[in-house]
Chains A and B, each alone.
Chain A
Amino acid sequence: MKKLKLNKSFWFGIVFSLILYGIIRVLLTTGVLDDVAESTLILVCINVMLAVSLNLINGITGQFSIGHAGFMSIGAYVSAILTLNFDVPLVFALLIAGLVAALFGVLIGIPTLRLNGDYLAIATLGFGEIIRIVLLNTEYVGGASGLSGIPAETTWTIMFFFTLLTIVVINNFIRSSHGRACIAIRENEIAAEAMGINTTLYKVIAFSLGALFAGIAGGLSAHKFYVINPGSFNFLKSFEILVMVVLGGLGSTAGSILGAIVLTLLFTALQNTPELRMIIYSVILILMMIFRPKGLLGSTGLSFMKFGKKEAKPDDVISESSSS
């Protein structure tokens, strides 16, 4: 199958993001946006990374996983230990953390991805909890009190570029022939298999690629908030990410980004009234289920040029030649 060419839409998206980055950077240095705003922006980006990476597993490949906080915690702990105990520079610590999380993704993925639907959900939920309990009982990582004094090195610049990297890598993966194979698995696993697609391989690739970026996001969050403890990576965190994906629209990268932004801002805005927070949250979810069951953006893909223009697809060249 054809490899995707980086088209206009791709570069437009990159330029658009860089401009956005520049504007916010200027606003931050001139003090128009204060520290609180910066924290919120970073939190938004962390959640965007988590949601986009979970969408690859749940929305694109159709494997219902709810253990994303587990991968996040692996990334957070690995990177924190590396910077705290071994003085590894943040960027390297994050990359190593991501790779370790991806390795766990492969290890967990190979046995559990044979399961379908509910069973996979339970298995991944169990995995997330096992990680948490193991961390809780490991003296080296501080047990229940977790790790503290992690250098707060996550800046807007680092955060932005990792978020951009996540979106670019995952979106290009989705739109490559590998991504098409993953979507085929979601649509009909038996047919995909009969076409000669190695379903196990692609499920594991999607799972570990998602885990990789969840791990990096975990590392970034650890280096933003000084403190990590096992309690912050419980199954509620996994659900929170899942809700962002579903709210935005399962299978849509743009939807996941939007879902993460909307929910994070909502959470932050409601921080002072925690009781009300969960109520409003639930009401929104119920309303969504009634009025937009496919999510805010349905399953539309991410493309910056599609307004008024047909989305450029990798197979356009082929269709033109075959119809002539």
Chain B
Amino acid sequence: MLKVEGINVYYGAIHALKDLSITVNEGEIVTLIGANGAGKSTLLKTLSGLLKPKTGSVEFLDKSITNQSIQSIVKQGLIHCPEGRRVFANMSVEENLELGGYLQDSSSLPADFEKVYTTFPRLLERKKQLAGTLSGGEQQMLAMGRAMMGHPKLLLLDEPSMGLAPLLVQDIFRIIQEVNASGTTVLLVEQNAHQALKIAHRAYVLETGRVVLEGDAKELADSEEIKMAYLGH
């Protein structure tokens, strides 16, 4: 579904992604793990078009999206749910969701609302509330719901568990699995490697802009190397 081949991304003089290649198959949850600064978020931003790679190619659904605009990438169903929630604080929950469906035909809105509210009943309770007044967990749900409004075929989630209480983290991961089960492929960036490896099918380990390990998530979770470096035991 997604095929990234040998991309190099720079922030000015800083070489952030070095000849990086990954693939994501339809129906999978693939997780990217790695320390701060490994290039996980940079990769997601490159996929969604917020950053442009200097060399290399990105293919989505067998079509190159390497130099396409963000709008057309979003239209094709590759939706990025950015790090740090980034809800529209002075808009209501409902307005936030509506903007998530910005590029969709308005006739599909009611069904999309229905779907998001079924996945996140909490959002339905708060639909008239300003997004800025929601709790951290609710804001994360809203950010994910907003991304779902865009009919994602591939959903990029950047650190959905960041700064959330442990119980909520469990919730969020359960929801990611539900979303995946309903037919959305997920590419998940996580600091919480333990949880991420639990729900993912496959994983890539990034270090300073390169893929250093890849494979089956369960196997990686059991490997001594990963345990030492990321799981802390």
* B178 CB, nearest partner CB in chain A, Å: 20
Contact B102 A322 (CB under 8 A): no
Question: In the complex, A34→B109 CA distance in Å?
Answer: 55
Contact A1 B117 (CB under 8 A): no
Q: Is A184 an interface residue (CB 8 A)?
A: yes
Contact A196 B103 (CB under 8 A): yes
Question: In the complex, A1→B109 CA distance in Å?
Answer: 8
* B37 CB, nearest partner CB in chain A, Å: 19
Contact A196 B113 (CB under 8 A): no
Q: Is B75 an interface residue (CB 8 A)?
A: yes
Question: In the complex, A315→B91 CA distance in Å?
Answer: 13
Question: In the complex, A181→B100 CA distance in Å?
Answer: 11
- Stretch from A116-124, A185-193, A224-232 forming part of the interface with B: A185-193
* A86 CB, nearest partner CB in chain B, Å: 42
* A318 CB, nearest partner CB in chain B, Å: 5
Contact B70 A193 (CB under 8 A): yes
Question: In the complex, A196→B98 CA distance in Å?
Answer: 12
A322 partner residues in chain B, CB cutoff 8 A: 109-110, 113-114, 117
Q: Choose one: A2, A190, A198, A321; the contact of B82 (CB below 8 Å).
A: A190
Q: Mark B108-124, 1 if CB is under 8 A from A, else 0.
A: 01100110010000001
A180 partner residues in chain B, CB cutoff 8 A: 95, 98-99
Nearest A residue to B90, CB-CB? A187
Q: How many residues of B contact A (CB 8 A)?
A: 37
State which residues 76-109 of B face A: CB under 8 Å: 79-82, 86-91, 94-95, 98-103, 106, 109
Q: Is B74 an interface residue (CB 8 A)?
A: yes
Q: Is A272 an interface residue (CB 8 A)?
A: no
B110 partner residues in chain A, CB cutoff 8 A: 318, 321-322
Question: Known contacts A1-B106, A187-B90: does B98 contact A194 (CB below 8 Å)?
Answer: no
* B230 CB, nearest partner CB in chain A, Å: 27
Q: Is A299 an interface residue (CB 8 A)?
A: yes
Q: Is B53 an interface residue (CB 8 A)?
A: no
Question: In the complex, A33→B99 CA distance in Å?
Answer: 49
Q: Is B184 an interface residue (CB 8 A)?
A: no
Q: Is A183 an interface residue (CB 8 A)?
A: yes
B143 partner residues in chain A, CB cutoff 8 A: 191
New A-B contacts (19) at CB < 8 Å, excluding given A1-B109, A196-B75, A196-B103: A1-B101, A1-B106, A180-B98, A181-B99, A183-B88, A184-B88, A184-B99, A187-B89, A190-B50, A190-B82, A191-B146, A194-B48, A194-B74, A195-B99, A195-B100, A197-B71, A198-B69, A198-B71, A319-B113
Interface residues of chain B, those whose CB is within 8 Å of chain A, are 48, 50, 69-71, 74-75, 79-82, 86-91, 94-95, 98-103, 106, 109-110, 113-114, 117, 124, 127, 143, 146-147, 150
Listed A/B pairs (25) with beta-carbon separation below 8 Å: A2-B109, A180-B99, A184-B88, A188-B88, A190-B50, A190-B86, A191-B82, A191-B87, A192-B88, A192-B99, A194-B70, A194-B79, A196-B71, A196-B102, A196-B150, A197-B71, A197-B99, A198-B69, A299-B90, A318-B110, A319-B94, A319-B127, A321-B110, A322-B110, A322-B113
